[in-house]
Amino acid sequence: MADGSDGEPVDDATLVEAAREAQEESFAPYSGYAVGAALLTADGSVVTGCNVENANYSNSLHAEEVALGSAVAAGHREFEAVAVSSGERDGVTPCGMCRQTLAEFCGEEFRVVCDLGGDDRREYTLGHLLPDTIDADTLDRDR
Ligand code: THU
Ligand code: ZN
């Protein structure tokens, strides 16, 4: 599995492949839009998530928040990048909510790699996708 567990550095193609594998596990019977996300941690491991929808619609979990929640629950606090892949291979980017969720732990240079199918991908920084956002510094809090 493409998860960094073999000690090899994780490149973007490997990270996208992990997001594709996670997307295969998506539970999206309502939208039909399957999403997977793969987070690269500072220690070189990969933690994945997929969207998990709910019949009430509003409780649906997004792939990026599932991945981040799993990673934090496993003790990770620093991250290098995330790959995001939809079943459409349309280069979907994290929605506004997920950008803010990522920003709690990921700085402006954090890379967001979006899957356009095959070997095609588009890369952004989180600072580009979500400039000038609220964070712990805004609240003058140590964390
Ligand atoms: N979705 C994600 O998983 N991540 C995003 O940031 C964009 C949207 C999911 C939520 C819902 O299950 C489906 O995609 C359609 O919006
Ligand atoms: Zn989202």
Domain boundaries, the chain: 12-139
Question: What is 12-139's CATH number?
Answer: 3.40.140.10
Query: Does 19 sit in the ligand 1 pocket, CB within 6 Å?
Result: no
Does the beta carbon of 60 lie inside 6 Å of ligand 1?
Answer: yes
Q: At what angle do helices 63-73 and 96-103 cross, to 10 degrees?
A: 20
| For the CA of 53, the nearest atom of ligand 1 | 12
Q: Please work out whether the CB of residue 31 comes within 6 Å of at least one atom of ligand 1.
A: yes
Cα 33 versus chain centre, distance: 16
Q: Are 62 and 51 in contact (CB under 8 A)?
A: yes
What residues are neighbours of ligand 2 (ion), with CB under 5 Å?
62, 95, 97-98
**pLDDT value, residue 7:** 75
The pLDDT assigned to 141 comes to: 79
State pTM to two decimals.
0.95
pLDDT score, position 65: 98
What is the rounded CA–CA span in Å between residue 140 and residue 99? 21
Whole-number Å distance between alpha carbons of 83 and 32 = 20
Which ligand neighbours the alpha carbon of 34 most closely?
Answer: 1
Residues near 94 by Cβ (< 8 Å), separated by ≥ 6? 37, 62, 64, 82, 84, 102, 112, 129
Reading the block at residue 109, the tokens are 């240079």
Q: Report pLDDT for 3.
A: 62
- Beta-bridge mates of residue 37: 49, 84
Give the sheet arrangement for strand 35-41, strand by strand: 46-50, 35-41, 79-86, 111-115, 121-125
Task: Kindly provide the residue ranges of all beta strands, DSSP E only, lying in 15-140, ordered along the sequence.
Answer: 35-41, 46-50, 79-86, 111-115, 121-125
Q: Closest Cα to atom 4, ligand 1: which residue?
A: 62
Residues acting as catalytic residues: 64
pLDDT at res. 6: 74
Write out the chain's pLDDT in tens, 143 residues.
556 677 789 999 999 999 999 999 999 999 999 999 999 999 999 999 999 999 999 999 999 999 999 999 999 999 999 999 999 999 999 999 999 999 999 999 999 999 999 999 999 999 999 999 999 999 987 77
pLDDT at 142: 78
